[in-house]
Structure 1
Amino acid sequence: MPTRVALVASSYHPHLGGVESHVRHVASELRAAGTDVEVWTVDRGEHLGTTELDDIRVRHLPTPMPARSVGAMARFALAAPGAWRAWRSAQRSFRPDVLHVQCFGPNGLYAAALARRARLPLVLSSHGETFMDDHDAFGTSALLRRGLREAISAATVTTGCSQEVLDDLRDRFGLVGGVVVPNGVGPAPEQPSGPPRRGLLGLGAGDRVVFAVGRLERMKGFDLLVDAVAALDDPSVTLVVAGSGSQADPLAALAQSRGLGDRFRLVGPLDEAGVDAWMRDAQVVAMPSRREAFGIVALEAWRAGSPLVATSLGGPSTFVQSGVDGLVVDPRDTATLAAALRRVLDDRAFAASLAAAGRRSVEAFTWTRVARDYTAIYASAVVPPSGPSGPSGTLPSRS
């Protein structure tokens, strides 16, 4: 079994997001189980160097990419040798047994090249980056597309956080086989002392909150949620959205045009404790994504004991039982989404039953389970199983 694993993440602390949370929790669980682990992540120009988080070393490595303009190519030619030296230095210093790419991007290109050069096993974990990016990085970059195909071909195991993710890798990037390793969620974070968050927004006990959280980008569908809340035409309902992104101002403008006024609030990016606090205070948590790779928000809502309305377009439809531990609807249908919100808001007994079932369902999604799945994959990567198998099919697929 390998004793040293480099988790090569496309993004990490101090940035917030799904992959950042996934890698941070997995790193802590692996370390607690006795694996020596480091996190290698992309230097976004902040020059953070080598830091430490949760007693785990974090290396911020440069990942310059070539572009078509003459100037960009010249800058890449100057930067690439130094970047490659930084990656080789990280490998020689830590001496990992496995390189595990979490969310393929420039990090994946460099890690795959390093795996070839150092003859290290490569494990890939996709989190929907091939279709969840609003800027369509894989659609616009032939280098990324080719790099991902080659990395999948070379990888010992490729995982996806849902069947939705694996299906896309099979359809467009040549994956054969593949293993589902879902997201997880930890214990509820400790809440800081202070006044209730709704009080800070001037909301009273009679105000009912629909809460949503995520990147403020088109794929997350918050504009669809604005339309649905407006369709409720209920002055007691306020939509609170947490996150940051390019759609913050357009969302605010849309809410004003729909007549929501102060019944629409943007509260900015929140840490895990902040998200949990709002979920516990909300009457319903909504996930209106146009497409969703997994939907860790669903697990967070279950943990908080909040009734959930989730998208049917992607990951949540594979693990949320509609009518049991949530309602699963197509958010593009404004009337259907509004009706689901209305049912949860108005039927307290039904809302309580969804919340209670969610608390039971979330028990199956722990970070310990995720780390255990990865540990089995690392073992198969270092010691190939006897008998023939495909490059990504060394473990049975799980869903």
Structure 2
Amino acid sequence: MSKPEKIVFIGLETYSLMGGLQQFNRRFIKALANRAAKNNGTRPQIVLRRDQTSDMPTDVDADFRPCGTSVLRMFHEAMVAARGADILVAGHVNLLSVLTACSVIAPRAPRILVVHGDEVWGDPVYRARKPFDAPMMRRLDRVVSVSQFTANRMAKTFGLSPEMFSIFRNAVDEIPSPDQTQPKQPNILCVTRLAEHDHGKNVDKLLRAFAVLKTQNLEATLTIVGDGVLRHGLEKLSLELGISEHVRFTGRVSDKSLAAAYSSASVFCLPSEKEGFGIVYLEAWLRGLPVICGDRDAAQEIVSGGVDGYIVDPSNIEEFASQLGKLLAQTETAREMGARGRSKVEAQYLMPHFENQLKSILDSVKA
């Protein structure tokens, strides 16, 4: 009789913050716990840096090892957890050294690295290459990427074989279908971080495209949800463009307020060039909204141009504004695009699909 499967997941802060990486990690850990319960496996060992014991969930059947800010404690907890491990998983490239150390304790366990986006693009603005990145990466058994775009850029940057990669799409939780029978006011919604390194979200270009629409006397408002050091400059730009009375910066909001913002919107727009996946587009589709994304990152793999949204060159402000104007003016077309987006989410991007992807990848590395 084979021994119960033991999986170790090593991650950065997961329950103390909220963001795309944290949402993915929470879903991944829950899927590991579900897999263990289904297969009578050992509870997954979850080692988390910068999380505290008080942050840990009570509704996930896993053995949590929060390590706070101590690097030494993280190495210690990870290596203790790795004893007898069947699979080792690191949830971020910055944890490669911890994963490598664990492989000494569990030399036969396949090593998996999960990557998300700009952290492995080799761009010094987001994360510069480090001397030992490539050698440690070449010892991995699998790199799990949330998009083909990120897999291609990482393979080129670090000289890795494309065969090392598996694509693992993100997911969202299903919510009730929105009521599309009530007409909405033309309101564009953008949900994004506005941190120091988020110039590539191109919110400034969205403001400029919106300003073009206002010169055409198109009645609409723009709501920007999110906060960070870029906010002040963007607010100043909206004043300079003469659109500030039609633009609302909300800052960070509660889940309830975010749901209300989606409910009142008629179009979702994030013309980013730095999305490793773009989970916000899925969240918008769940609410029946058509979306606009940029043409320079992984969002192109998710959005079907002309079907459930538009893909734009964010630097071409006139064309960007034209596509945005179409969605605002052609309300029935916009509604149909949003409905097709929701159907896509239901078919490809919910928790059952996430768990099936995980099963396929873990089973293949053990084979």
Whole-angstrom CA distance in 2 between matches of 1:152 and 1:89: 22
1:282, 1:84 → 2: CA distance?
A: 46
1:116 aligned residue:
104
Query: Per-residue CA shift, 1:229-270, capped at 9, x if unaligned?
Result: 122114732221122333122222222221222322222234
**CA 1:230–1:369 in structure 2 vs 1: closer, same or farther (change >3 Å)?**
same
Q: Give the 3 Å change call, closer, same or farther, for CA 323–50 of structure 1 in structure 2.
A: closer
Tell me how far apart the structure 1 counterparts of residues 121 and 246 of structure 2 sit (CA, whole Å): 28
Q: 1:97 aligns with which of 86, 94, 101?
A: 86
Distance (Å, rounded) in 1 between the aligned partners of 2:190 and 2:322: 17
Change (3 A) 1:268 1:314: same
Equivalences for 1:43-122 in 2 at 5 Å? 43=50, 48=53, 51-57=56-62, 58-61=64-67, 81-91=72-82, 96-105=85-94, 107-119=95-107, 120-122=109-111
- Return closer, same or farther for 1:273/1:135 CA change in 2, 3 Å cut-off: farther
Whether 2:125 is the aligned partner of 1:136: answer yes
How many residues are aligned here? Answer: 346
Map 1:311-350 onto structure 2 (within 5 A): 311-350=294-333
Residues 237-246 or 125-134, more deviating: 125-134
In the TM superposition, residue 272 of structure 1 has moved relative to its aligned partner by: 5.4
Distance 1:269 1:13 in 2: 18
Which residue does 2:191 correspond to in 1?
213
Distance 1:359 1:206, change over 3 A: closer
Q: Tell me what 1:225 maps to.
A: 206
2:182 counterpart of 1:182: no
What amino acid maps onto 1:55 in structure 2?
V
Contact 2:45–2:81 (CA under 8 A) maintained in structure 1 = no
Moved segments of 4+, more than 4 Å: 46-50, 80-83, 131-135, 270-274
Residue of structure 2 in register with 1:70 after alignment:
none
Instruction: Give the stretch that moved more between structures: 53-62 or 249-258.
Output: 53-62
- Shift of residue 166 of structure 1? 0.7
Q: CA deviation at 1:298?
A: 1.2
The residue that corresponds to 1:169 in the other structure is 154
Residues 1-399 of structure 1 mapped to structure 2, 5 A cutoff: 3-33=5-35, 34=37, 36-43=43-50, 48=53, 51-57=56-62, 58-61=64-67, 81-91=72-82, 96-105=85-94, 107-119=95-107, 120-130=109-119, 136-139=125-128, 142-143=130-131, 146-147=132-133, 149-176=134-161, 177=163, 178-188=165-175, 207-216=185-194, 217-233=198-214, 234=217, 236-270=219-253, 274-363=257-346, 364-383=348-367
CA-atom RMSD in angstroms: 2.9
Of the two structures, which has the highest relative contact order with CA contacts closer than 8 Å and spacing of 6 or more?
Answer: 1
1:22 Cα offset (Å): 1.2
Residues of 2 paired with 1:132 and 1:250: CA distance?
27
**Aligned AA for 1:371?**
E
| Counterpart residue type for residue 152 of structure 1 | M
The DSSP-based 3-state class of the residue aligned with 1:292 is: coil
Alpha-carbon distance in 2 for matches of 1:53, 1:189: 26
Moved more, 112-121 or 323-332: 112-121
**Contact 2:121 2:154 (C-alpha < 8 Å) held by counterparts:** no
Shift of 1:13: 2.0
Distance in structure 2 (CA, Å) of the matches to 1:22 and 1:189: 21
Q: 1:189 to 1:213 in 2, by over 3 A?
A: farther
| Matching residue's letter, 1:344 | L
Q: Is the 8 A contact 1:213 1:241 kept in 2?
A: yes
Amino acid of the residue matched to residue 59 of structure 2? D
Cα pair 1:130 1:138 within 8 Å, conserved: yes
Report the Cα distance in structure 2 between the residues aligned to 1:53 and 1:311, rounded to whole angstroms: 39
Could you tell me whether the CA contact under 8 Å between 2:48 and 2:74 is conserved in 1?
no
Partner SS state of residue 52, structure 1: coil
One-letter code aligned to 2:252:
P
The 1:308–1:98 alpha-carbon spacing in structure 2 relative to 1, beyond 3 Å, is same
For 2:174, what is the secondary structure of its paired residue?
coil
Q: Distance in 2 between matches of 1:122 and 1:352?
A: 44
Residues 136-164 of structure 1, C-alpha deviations (whole Å, 9 max, x = no match)? 3432x525xx23x2332122111211110
The TM-score normalised by the length of structure 1 is: 0.78
Equivalent position SS for 2:44:
strand
Structure 1 residues without counterparts, runs of 5 or longer? 65-79, 192-204, 384-399
Identity across matched positions, percent: 23
Q: Which amino acid aligns with 2:102?
A: L
For each residue in 1:81-104, what CA deviation from the matched residue of structure 2 results, as whole angstroms up to 9, or x when unmatched? 555334334445xx6432222232
CA drift at 1:345: 0.5
